[in-house]
Amino acid sequence: MPGALAFAEIREGAVSRASREAVGLARRIAADAGGETHVVALGPPGTAEAATQLAAFGADRTWVGESEGLALCQPDIAAAAIARLVEAGDYDAVIFAATSQGRDIAPRVGARLGRSVASEVIECRRENGGIVVRRPMYAGKAIATLRFTPGPAVMTIRANVFAPAGEGAAGEISSLDLEGLEGRVRTAALEQGDRDRLDVSEATTIVSGGRGMQGPEHWPLLEALVEALGDEAALGASRAVVDAGWRPHGEQVGQTGKTVSPNLYFAVGISGAIQHLAGMRTAKVIVAINRDADAPIFGVADYGLVGDVFEVLPALTEAVREARRGD
């Protein structure tokens, strides 16, 4: 029976949450057909040790390819190794997380297999013996339903949409032969970003700013609130803010940015366009702050505060600090 293959990224000795989501989807797709879930992990010597986590997440088999040349991501070599594995196996789904690495490797795998790639998938199911996915199009203004033709369905999946794999029966770990694989692209160096700033997709509390902040010079107000909320808080931004160049794309929340599912989400000066709501509506608690009482964001908020953000934010930040000092 056909199975599913997930690509796992191992960072600093740990399997990323995004990769666990890819494994979780692979398990479901494989189980629906009575097939096996396989995972592939590539990296420098020592990757196999970290890959034991993948077996614990219920993968029937984990393929590990180790090489000194993979200390930095080498997309051509990774794509060649994965494509060769797919051609030798029986997989009708090949799943990558929609990370920078996944978005780099997945199209290369698709090209080697002669298959189209569905990117930023938000739904995936088996239907009449085939794989059907849904993904946003036209900057999030439409959702397309796509049916793959027979053969491996290669896709990247949006973060925080699919449930991450939980613990399961431990499977086998096998070595993946990388002999003879060479790529034309070489990663010369990786520059680490701000390690003190939590990625918005991994935060349990998010403070997002919109056009109502009126300019990048006012972002310290949001940064102060994030700092007051603690280490598990992160900054987010609306698409309008990113398009205006006020904040980096990595902070964008929404259909064309990152999908988040925090415990607490502050929408500050954000009107609540449908594209933004699609990226944060699964937050457990939503707090909206906006001077426009008719802003759509209040329709999804658990708590709403109508007022001037420049007056509300300092008072809210001080209240949070006082509450945390009391703890």
Q: Write the DSSP string, 92-123.
A: EEEEEESSHHHHHHHHHHHHHHT--EEEEE-E
DSSP H or E stretch at residue 133? strand 130-137
- Averaged confidence pLDDT in the chain: 89
Say whether 121 sits in a helix, a strand or coil: strand
* Residue 130: Cβ-neighbour burial (10 angstroms; 0-12, 13-18, 19+): middle
* Maximal C-alpha separation, the chain: 64
Q: What value, to the nearest 5°, has the Cα angle with vertex 145 and ends 286 and 127?
A: 110
Question: What mean pLDDT do residues 268-288 have?
Answer: 92
* pLDDT of 194: 57
* pLDDT of 71: 67
Q: Is the pLDDT of residue 10 over 90?
A: no
Q: Quote the tokens at residue 61.
A: 């088999």
Phi and psi at residue 153, in whole multiples of 5°? Answer: -90, 105
Closest to 19 (Cα-Cα) out of 28, 7, 30: 7
* pLDDT of 142: 80
* pLDDT of 168: 67
pLDDT, one tens digit per residue, over 161-207 is: 898 887 766 678 888 888 877 767 776 776 665 555 678 888 999 99
- Kindly state the percentage of the chain with pLDDT values over 70: 94
Please tell me what DSSP assigns to residue 53.
Answer: H
Distance CA 226, CA 245 (A): 21
Question: What mean pLDDT do residues 251-261 have?
Answer: 87
* pLDDT of 140: 65
On whether the CB atoms of residues 246 and 236 are closer than 8 A, the answer is: no
HSE toward the beta carbon, residue 286, CA cutoff 13 A: 22
Say whether 105 sits in a helix, a strand or coil: helix
Question: What mean pLDDT do residues 246-266 have?
Answer: 90
Distance CA 173, CA 72 (A): 22
* pLDDT of 190: 67
On whether the CB atoms of residues 291 and 308 are closer than 8 A, the answer is: yes
Question: What mean pLDDT do residues 271-288 have?
Answer: 91
Q: Is the pLDDT of residue 236 over 80?
A: yes
Q: Is the pLDDT of residue 18 over 70?
A: yes
**Dihedral sign, CA of 213, 301, 291, 295?**
positive
Q: Which of 41-55, 245-259, 288-302 has the lowest mean pLDDT?
A: 41-55
Confidence band for 218, pLDDT divided at 50, 70 and 90: very high
* pLDDT of 257: 84
Distance CA 240, CA 275 (A): 11
* pLDDT of 277: 92
Residue range 3-175, CATH number:
3.40.50.620
Rg of the chain over Cα atoms, rounded to whole angstroms, equals 21
Q: What are the domain boundaries of the chain?
A: 3-175, 200-326
Closest to 320 (Cα-Cα) out of 225, 241, 250: 225
Question: What mean pLDDT do residues 34-39 have?
Answer: 93
Extract long-range pairs of 224-229: CB within 8 Å, 24+ residues apart.
Answer: 224/313, 224/314, 224/317, 225/266, 225/313, 225/316, 225/317, 225/320, 228/317, 228/320, 228/321, 228/324, 229/205, 229/320
On whether the CB atoms of residues 318 and 273 are closer than 8 A, the answer is: no
pLDDT, one tens digit per residue, over 88-102 is: 989 999 999 998 889
Question: What mean pLDDT do residues 39-66 have?
Answer: 83
Q: Quote the tokens at residue 126.
A: 């088996």
HSE toward the beta carbon, residue 279, CA cutoff 13 A: 29
Fold (topology level) of 200-326: Rossmann fold (3.40.50)
Do the domains 200-326 and 3-175 match in fold?
A: yes
On whether the CB atoms of residues 214 and 308 are closer than 8 A, the answer is: no
On whether the CB atoms of residues 41 and 6 are closer than 8 A, the answer is: no
Question: What mean pLDDT do residues 208-225 have?
Answer: 96
